[in-house]
Amino acid sequence: MKRSLVTTLIIGVAVAGIVGGLHASGLIARFELAVTGLISNYAAATRIVSGKWQPGIVLPLSLGVAWLTLSSVPRRRSRLLVLFLLIELLGLSWVCSLYRIFFQPLPSILAVVIAWLVGEGWIVFLRRDRSHLSRSFFTGRLSNKEFRRLLEGAIAFDLQPRGHEVSVVVCDVANKHGLAEDSGPAAFAETTEKFICDVADRLLEAGGYIQAADGEGVVAIFGFPDSNTEHADKAVHVALDLVQRYRESRQNNGEIPGDCDTHVGISSGTIIIAPLKDGERRALLTSGEPIELARRFCAANRFYGSHILIDTRTFDLANKGIVARPIDFLMEVDSQDRHEIYEPLWLASEAKPEHIARRDSFWNGIVLYRKKRWAEAYTEFQKARGSDDDAPLQFYLRRLEPLALNLTEMSSD
């Protein structure tokens, strides 16, 4: 915004100076009289708008047209507005002539036309430069739809290093290490490649920016470069869709290998994004705790048997649209801080009453477990049982069975 205002002032003042100089010097006097003679009669005028007033008219017009051209107003609409302004200037001169007032419209018309042409030229120059930079930074990392929006200026992208509020999604093959041991290198590479391509395509379609896609998984950022306040909702929704698709594909023997599954970790917060200027290839530096946490959450799924784990920030942002449950706390590597993690289960619009009841029983079990009320926690977890294989539930039941058994024996004694 600041740069646009400075550019507007420069263009407006420069155009006003050029037009004012031409008018004051008399270089365009004959042309002025010829044009004005078509709509006004100078000889019949009893009053004349002095040339001293021209700078006061030309400068606001130059600034206004420059600002209009450089603003986010669609170009077709701005061109129509400029055309209407030119017609109004001619109409103003004609109306003044009816009252025997002579108003010279040509300086104002020149100011409008020149300011518009300079503004259009500046936009073309910026778009050419923007297009080159956008292709350098975003080719293959955004969907075609989002890339077009970026080129058209619908998505504002500032090359200055700054923080972005985003949600980071990390997806990886669930049983990657076992798959590598059970199959040969060629089969493992083929399976991993299919997984990376499939997941990356789906994250792109959902509007994510692909930060990485390699043997360590796919990392997508939602909320960049388009600053969208619904980045957490998008991230969790696409994660649920991925898990559902892989579940259905295994059941139906689809294109995805039957022994391939996905784990997802999501973390929301602020990351730093800055362009790397050194080196032959342009790239974006992305760094921040959400990236590290999303990787940890993705890996933690192996321990709990879950498919998706999110942090508290993501849960707070997206909880109105999803049904989720608390799982556990993850400790920081180098401090005593803890991160509570949640497991999204269903979209709120798709959850049935029995789903909500099971989620609530599991949630109560977690609360009682943390209070070390083992027998009551075990009872609540039993209520959370369903027809499907619930690995996190089995995780807690296995922990509680010996504790609940001991309590039963002690009470019987």
Q: Which positions ≥6 away from 267 have C-beta within 8 Å? A: 167, 168, 289, 290, 291, 293, 294, 297, 310, 311, 313, 314
Q: What is the Cβ-side half-sphere exposure of residue 190, based on CA atoms within 13 angstroms?
A: 8
Q: What is the Cβ-side half-sphere exposure of residue 83, based on CA atoms within 13 angstroms?
A: 6
**Residues β-bridged to residue 222:** 167
Same domain, 127 and 215: no
Radius of gyration of the chain (CA): 33
**In the chain, what percentage of residues exceed pLDDT 70?**
81
Q: What is the Cβ-side half-sphere exposure of residue 94, based on CA atoms within 13 angstroms?
A: 8
Same domain, 358 and 345: no
Same domain, 303 and 366: no
Same domain, 346 and 367: no
* Residue at a domain's end among 326, 351, 376: 351
pLDDT for 2 beyond 50? no
Same domain, 227 and 344: yes
Nearest one of 108, 124, 95, 99 to 32, comparing CA atoms: 108
Same domain, 346 and 389: no
What confidence tier does 1 reach under pLDDT thresholds 50, 70, 90? very low
Q: Considering the domain boundaries, does residue 124 fall inside one?
A: yes
With 0-12 CB in 10 A as exposed, 13-18 as middle and 19+ as buried, what is 346? middle
Say if CB 90 and CB 39 are below 8 A apart: yes
Per-residue confidence (pLDDT) for residue 299, from 0 to 100: 93
Q: Considering the domain boundaries, does residue 309 fall inside one?
A: yes
Same domain, 324 and 193: yes
Same domain, 326 and 388: no
CA angle 74, 79, 83 (to 5 degrees): 150
Question: Which secondary structure element, helix H or strand E, spans residue 265, and what is its range?
Answer: strand 262-276
Same domain, 285 and 214: yes
Coil, helix or strand at residue 413: coil
pLDDT for 412 beyond 80? no
Same domain, 165 and 276: yes
Please tell me the distance from the alpha carbon of residue 408 to that of residue 19, in angstroms, as a whole number. 96
Enclosing domain of residue 288:
158-351
Say if CB 271 and CB 287 are below 8 A apart: yes
**269-272 contact pairs (CB < 8 A, 24+):** 269/165, 269/166, 269/293, 269/313, 270/163, 270/164, 270/165, 270/166, 271/163, 271/164, 271/166, 271/168, 271/221, 271/224, 272/161, 272/162, 272/163, 272/164
Residue 6: count other Cβ atoms within 10 Å of its Cβ: 10
Q: Which positions ≥6 away from 73 have C-beta within 8 Å? A: 81
Nearest one of 230, 231, 214, 213 to 222, comparing CA atoms: 231
Please tell me the distance from the alpha carbon of residue 407 to that of residue 187, in angstroms, as a whole number. 50
Please tell me the distance from the alpha carbon of residue 66 to that of residue 63, in angstroms, as a whole number. 5
Structure tokens at 385: 């049982």
- pLDDT tens-digit map of 88-111: 887 877 777 777 776 777 788 888
With 0-12 CB in 10 A as exposed, 13-18 as middle and 19+ as buried, what is 399? middle
pLDDT for 135 beyond 80? no
Coil, helix or strand at residue 71: coil
Same domain, 173 and 257: yes
Q: Considering the domain boundaries, does residue 148 fall inside one?
A: no
Say if CB 237 and CB 345 are below 8 A apart: no
Position with higher pLDDT, 89 vs 37 = 89
Per-residue confidence (pLDDT) for residue 413, from 0 to 100: 46
pLDDT for 407 beyond 60? no
Q: What is the Cβ-side half-sphere exposure of residue 232, based on CA atoms within 13 angstroms?
A: 22
Per-residue confidence (pLDDT) for residue 156, from 0 to 100: 73
Q: What global pTM score does this model have?
A: 0.70
Q: Considering the domain boundaries, does residue 150 fall inside one?
A: no
What confidence tier does 185 reach under pLDDT thresholds 50, 70, 90? confident
Give how many domains the chain has, as a whole number. Answer: 3
Query: Angle at which helices 106-138 and 54-70 pack, to 10 degrees?
Result: 20
Same domain, 410 and 306: no
pLDDT for 84 beyond 50? yes
Task: Calculate the average pLDDT of the chain.
Answer: 82
Q: Considering the domain boundaries, does residue 143 fall inside one?
A: no
pLDDT for 316 beyond 70? yes
